[in-house]
Amino acid sequence: MSPRIALPVALFAIGVSVGCQKKTEKELAPVASVAASAKPASSHAVRAKLDPAHSSIELVMKAPLENIYGTVKSATSGELFVDLSNLEKTTGLVEVNLQKLVLTHEKRETEDGEFGGRQIQDRQNQHARTWLEISDDTPEADRKKNEIVTFNITKVADVSARDVTKLGGSEREATATVTGDFVLHQRKVQKSAKMKIVFEFDGDRATGIHMTTVEPFVVDLEEHDVRPRKAFGVLADATLATLGQKVDKHPKVSLDLRAKLLSDR
């Protein structure tokens, strides 16, 4: 190839490469630059501490040939600041440790075939930790950042019962749309989830909260740079797109959270 032809071709190749890099960067959610924290939005807010022993997270990833189910138990912490007279002023922070994530799966040979029973595969769980960069070969500082998922509640809207103190009974129910900053793999996006909230009362005193998602919310793994890796920082040849028949890149997440109201604010 002559120099006159080679130079324009080389410049074109560089331009395409840079363009692809920019496109990839745009597809990723921004990096969460600061650690999330919960702050009360009302002077009347009472503090509630999440109960890890009675809280859990579930996810479902359905693909044509394989369904993957995930559970995280006894690994949810955080706190809520709840204004019982005005639920719209509620804030909070939910933290989940992904080291407690357990995946099970069910497979079938063809799209028309029957799924087999759910099974746990150690190799699949190890792959998930490598993709999330929380595996044993991950440097400790990076692992500690990546293993924590946070949902920082900043807005509560569409409340069915704004003032739960005016409701009666030992269990008082409301629904609301909860919005906040969701951070996975150190990348932040805004998420909303419709929640059912049951307040437990002892007489006129609130003692506990049980929050569950009415409908799962969807997480885009590509947005959070969660993708096939061979080891920490080493991308695999396969991508989420090429694994389309096996892996759903949009898991649906459900929350089941219990919290105890504290006497102090």
- Scanning the structure block, which residue is given the tokens 């799966």? 105
Instruction: Give the pLDDT confidence score for residue 17 in this predicted structure.
Output: 42
Helix (H, G, I), strand (E, B) or coil at 89: helix
What averages of pLDDT result for each successive group of 10 residues across the chain (265 residues)?
47 42 63 87 95 97 92 97 97 98 94 92 94 97 97 97 96 98 97 98 96 97 94 84 72 98 71
Q: Please give the distance of CA 13 from its chain centroid, rounded to a whole number.
A: 38
Instruction: Give the pLDDT confidence score for residue 247 in this predicted structure.
Output: 72
What is the residue type of 147?
A: E
**Residues paired with residue 31 on neighbouring β-strands, in sequence order:** 187
Q: Which CATH architecture has domain 32-261?
A: Beta Barrel (2.40)
Reported pTM: 0.87
Instruction: Give the pLDDT confidence score for residue 33 in this predicted structure.
Output: 84
CA distance 255 to 8: 55
Six token digits for residue 143? 């692992």
**CA neighbor of 157 nearest in space, from 110, 194, 211, 105:** 194
Instruction: Give the pLDDT confidence score for residue 51 in this predicted structure.
Output: 98
Our CA angle for 26, 225, 245, nearest 5°, is 105
Instruction: Give the pLDDT confidence score for residue 21 in this predicted structure.
Output: 42
